[in-house]
């Protein structure tokens, strides 16, 4: 009898929640700051830069300017090979890996955490409005020589500030990153005009997210014993593994209304159904929908429909 083949042990995919863990995973020196870092990969500096990054998930953002070399990037189930200058944007929760076999690779990249965004709201507003914020597709934007020159100058300014001793350096860094993201957004708009597959993928992804959001709300409401803490955009976004601001941006793009407005609309529709088709008391309906008491439900319902619950029920029963 032949030898039985051994099944290789399942290898865990680490979820890197901070920058120190990330740099340890890719065998690089730790960052100077826990929430922000910038690197310049230069063949004149790193003569033997040659490695493969095994798959990992991460909880931060990365904007890379790829200048030269031959690199294969993997994000989700998409694979991209770059040989021309390009901008590449990596977002939280993706499974990412890469192969960089060329010693003459040259690139800049910045990475930053949610904490960095929280301290710089203008950056958060741009990022959560980017249509490709949470895709499983790797999206590199190939760029022209004049765009390369412009972006390199921004990265160099950030790098200079990052290694300075100025007390206010992160205020200026945030300003440079803001400018960089505005250019990334412009590149996306330019790129999307010629990539129909990308546009369709984004639209399909956003539609699926909105439907999943609605389904979670429905699931919460049909139980008849709602925990009000579970009917918040923040909680529902966490269940969908996205940032609440991003969920809000997607719902707004797809439906023309905010996530909280959509949530309240569905609660209102459920309330109208219960008032029209059941004999539950107003207090019972309020409890079923997660309200602390009937007055809170009364205020909410009137704000949504223009009627008190009692007036609406009477109107429906005429």
Are both 181 and 70 inside the same structural domain?
Answer: yes
Instruction: Check: pTM over 0.75? Answer yes or no.
Output: no
How many structural domains compose the chain? 2
Are both 128 and 258 inside the same structural domain?
Answer: no
Decide if pLDDT at 1 tops 50.
no
Are both 162 and 215 inside the same structural domain?
Answer: no
**Is 3 within the bounds of a domain?**
no
**Which domain covers residue 302, as residue numbers?**
199-316
Are both 180 and 210 inside the same structural domain?
Answer: no
Are both 215 and 181 inside the same structural domain?
Answer: no
Are both 77 and 152 inside the same structural domain?
Answer: yes
Are both 273 and 124 inside the same structural domain?
Answer: no
More confident of the two residues 50 and 315:
315
Are both 172 and 39 inside the same structural domain?
Answer: yes
**Is 10 within the bounds of a domain?**
no
pLDDT at residue 10, rounded to an integer: 45
Are both 227 and 121 inside the same structural domain?
Answer: no
Burial per residue of 268-305, b for 16 or more beta-carbon CB atoms within 10 angstroms, e otherwise? bebbbebbeeeeeebeebbbbbbbeebeebbebbeebb
**Is 1 within the bounds of a domain?**
no
Last residue of a domain, one of 194, 213, 244: 194
CATH number at residue 206: 1.10.10.60
Task: Tell me the per-residue pLDDT of 122-171, one tens digit each, with 9 for 90 and over.
Answer: 888 787 776 655 555 556 777 888 989 999 999 999 999 999 999 999 99
Are both 234 and 184 inside the same structural domain?
Answer: no
CATH number at residue 61: 2.60.120.280
Q: Which of 93-97, 100-104, 179-183, 212-216 has the lowest mean pLDDT?
A: 100-104
pLDDT at residue 164, rounded to an integer: 96
pLDDT at residue 3, rounded to an integer: 47
**Is 112 within the bounds of a domain?**
yes
pLDDT at residue 6, rounded to an integer: 45
Task: Tell me the per-residue pLDDT of 268-293, one tens digit each, with 9 for 90 and over.
Answer: 999 999 999 999 999 999 999 989 88
Are both 78 and 141 inside the same structural domain?
Answer: yes
Task: Tell me the per-residue pLDDT of 34-84, one tens digit each, with 9 for 90 and over.
Answer: 999 999 987 665 555 446 778 888 888 889 898 887 777 666 555 677 778
pLDDT at residue 201, rounded to an integer: 66
């Amino acid at each position: 009898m032949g030898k039985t083949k051994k099944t290789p042990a399942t290898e865990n995919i680490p979820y890197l929640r901070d920058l120190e863990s990330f740099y340890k995973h890719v065998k690089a020196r730790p960052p100077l700051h826990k929430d922000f870092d910038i690197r310049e990969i230069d063949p004149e500096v790193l003569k033997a830069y040659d490695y493969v990054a095994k798959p990992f998930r991460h909880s931060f953002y990365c904007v890379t300017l790829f200048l030269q070399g031959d690199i294969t990037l993997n994000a989700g189930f998409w694979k991209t090979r770059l040989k021309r200058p390009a901008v590449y944007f990596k977002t939280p929760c993706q499974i990412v890996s890469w192969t960089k076999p060329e010693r003459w690779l040259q690139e800049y990249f910045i990475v930053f955490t949610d904490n960095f965004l929280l301290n710089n709201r203008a950056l958060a507003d741009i990022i959560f409005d980017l249509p490709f914020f949470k895709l499983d597709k790797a999206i590199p934007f190939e760029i022209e020589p004049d765009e390369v020159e412009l972006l390199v100058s921004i990265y160099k300014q950030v790098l200079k500030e990052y290694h300075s001793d100025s007390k206010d350096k992160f205020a200026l860094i945030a300003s440079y990153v803001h400018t960089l993201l505005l250019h990334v957004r412009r590149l996306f708009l330019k790129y999307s005009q010629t990539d129909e597959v990308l546009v369709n993928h984004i639209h399909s992804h956003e539609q699926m997210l909105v439907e999943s959001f609605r389904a979670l709300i429905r699931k919460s409401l049909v139980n008849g014993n709602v925990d009000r803490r579970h009917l918040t955009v923040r909680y529902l976004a966490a269940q969908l593994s996205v940032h609440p601001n991003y969920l809000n941006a997607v719902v707004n793009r797809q439906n023309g209304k905010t996530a909280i407005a959509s949530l309240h609309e569905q609660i209102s529709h459920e309330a109208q159904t219960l008032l029209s088709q059941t004999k539950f008391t107003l207090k019972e309906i309020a409890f079923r929908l997660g309200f602390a008491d009937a007055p809170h439900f009364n205020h909410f319902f009137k704000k949504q429909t223009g009627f008190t619950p009692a007036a609406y029920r009477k109107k429906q029963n005429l």
